[in-house]
């Protein structure tokens, strides 16, 4: 979840604006909504969803190499 929080913050601060990252930002927000409790039990319970979100963002970024940092 910390990685997703970091990515969302970076998208918000990017000069292109968060609208450029509309799809990945939406995925992060959905995952954050589904994992409101950051306790270990909830993270473990939602691990598959968290990892899937990270993979989707990675795939999106590979299609946007100018944004991949």
Give the helix/strand (H/E) hosting 4.
Answer: helix 2-13
What is the rounded average pLDDT for all residues in the chain? 90
Question: Domain limits at 23?
Answer: 2-67
Proportion of the chain above pLDDT 90, given as a percent: 65
Once rounded to an integer, what is the mean pLDDT over residues 32-59? 92
**Domains of the chain: total:** 1
Does the structure show a pLDDT above 70 at 69? no
Supply the pTM of this predicted model: 0.86
Spatial distance between the Cα atoms of 1 and 47, rounded to a whole number of angstroms: 9
């Amino acid at each position: 979840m910390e990685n997703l929080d970091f990515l969302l913050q970076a998208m918000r601060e990017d000069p292109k604006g968060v609208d450029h990252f509309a799809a990945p930002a939406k995925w992060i927000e959905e995952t954050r909504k589904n994992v409101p409790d950051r306790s270990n039990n909830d993270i473990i319970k939602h691990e598959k969803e968290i990892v899937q979100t990270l993979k989707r963002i990675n795939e999106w970024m590979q299609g946007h190499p100018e944004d991949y940092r």
